[in-house]
Amino acid sequence: MRGGGFKIGRVFGIPIFLHASWFFIFLLITYSMATEFSSVNPNWTDGQRWGLGLVTSLLFFGSVLFHELSHSVVALRYRIPVKSITLFIFGGVASIGRDPERPGQEFLIAAAGPASSYVLAAVFWLLTIASPTASMVNALGDSLWKINFGLATFNLVPGFPLDGGRLLRSIVWGITKDYGRATRFAARSGQAVAYGMIALGLWFAVRAYTAGGDVLGGLWLAFIGWFLLSAARASYAQINAQGVLEGLRAADLMTAEMSTIGRDMSLEEYAQEVARTGRRAHLVVTDAKLVGLMTLEALQSVPREEWGMTSVQAVMLPRDRLQWAAPDEPAMDLLERMRRAQVNQMAVITDGNVVGMVTRDSVQRALETRSDLARVTGR
C-alpha cells in the first residue's frame, strides 16, 4: 500500500497515515476487547470495560506502529528512504523507497519488526505479573503481551510479503546470489501459506457454523489469507516483469506515435479526442513547440460539468514540470522513477525534442512481446 488516508503526524521524519479501513478495525477491536473484559470480569462497570477496551485498542495500534518504525529505523540506517507508514485494516505497512542492496541488509530490516514486537510482549508480560490479579492494569498487560507475541510470531511465518517471507528471501538471496530467484521462491512460499490460511479459515468457519458458534474468526483468517495471496502474486509478477525487461532501455519501450493537441482545446473536446484515439496522454503544442502534457488523469481531476468551460492549458502538466527520460536510460530505472512519481507516462527527449513516449500501454506491449518470445524460444 502507498501512503494515503489521514495524516496524523511524523516520526523520525516519516509521515504516518491512517487508512480509511483503520477506523473499522479499530472499532471492531475495541468492541471485541470490551466484550472479552466483560465476560472475564462481570463485576466491572460499562465505563471500565469500554474504557479499557478503547485503551487496549489504541495501544495495540501503537504496538503495530512501533513494529513498523523498527523496520524503518533499520532501513534508514542503510540510507534506504522510507516514504510513509500506513495503519490499515490488517495492521500496518512501511513504504520503503527501494529494495536493500545486500541480503544482510534485508535480513536485519525484516527481523527488526518481530524483534521489537517480542520486546513489547516481554514488557507487557512483566507489567502483568507485577500488577494485582483481576485489576485493570493486569487485564491490559495480559491482553497486550499476548497480542504482541502473536503479532511477532505470525509475521515470522515464511511467506512473502510477511517478515518471515522477507527473511526467507534474504537467506535464499545470500545462498544463490540471485535476487530474482530468491524473490520468486519467497513469493511461491507466500502463496502456499496464503492458500493454507484460506483453507484453514474456511474450515474453522464451517465448523463453527455447524456447531452454532461464531464464524467471524475463521472468515477473518481466510480474509487475511486472501490479502497475502494477492500480495504474493503481485510480487511474483513484478519480479517476472523485471526479468523480462532486463537489458531494455527507454527507446525500446517508447512509442514514436505521439498524438498532439492544442492548448486552447476544451476539456470536453479533449474527452472526445481520448475516446477517438484511445490514448491516455497527449503532447500539447503551440506553433510546433512543446508546451505541456495532457493526460486522462488530469481530465478526471476536473468536475464533469466544468469540461466545456475549461481549457487544456488550465490543467495540463507544463513543460518545465514534465518528467522525461533519455533514450538510453535503462528500462527498470525508468519504471522505478515512474513508480516513485506516480505517473503512467513519461516523455523521451533527446536534443530538446520529444522523440517518443513511454506509457503503461507501451510497457505492457513490450512485456507481452518478450514473454511470448521467451515461450517460443524456451528462454
Residues identified as active-site: 68
The cell for 129 is 505479573
Contacts of 9 (CB under 8 A, 6+ apart): 15, 16
Distance from C-alpha of 100 to C-alpha of 75, rounded to nearest angstrom: 8
> What is the distance between the alpha carbons of residues 226 and 169, in angstroms, rounded to a whole number?
21
For residues 252 and 87, give the distance between their C-alpha atoms in angstroms, rounded to a whole number. Answer: 39
Instruction: Find cell 506516480 and name the residue.
Output: 342
Q: What is the DSSP string of 5-67?
A: SEEEEEETTEEEEE-HHHHHHHHHHHHHHHHHHHHH-TTS-HHHHHHHHHHHHHHHHHHHHHH
Of 96, 227, 219, 210, nearest to 160 by C-alpha is 227
Strand partners, 345: 359
User: Parallel, antiparallel, or unpaired for β 317-318 and 91-96?
Assistant: unpaired
d(CA 263, CA 277): 18
SS3 82: strand
Q: HSE on the CB side for 230, CA within 13 Å?
A: 7
Q: Which residues contact 197 (CB under 8 A, 6 or more apart)?
A: 221, 222, 224, 225, 228
Task: Report the distance separating Cα 261 and Cα 270, nearest Å.
Answer: 8
- What span, in angstroms and rounded, lies between the C-alpha atoms of 361 and 280? 9
For 352, residues 6+ apart whose C-beta sits below 8 A from its C-beta are none
Question: CA end-to-end span of the chain, whole Å?
Answer: 33
> 211: burial class by Cβ within 10 Å (0-12, 13-18, 19+)?
exposed
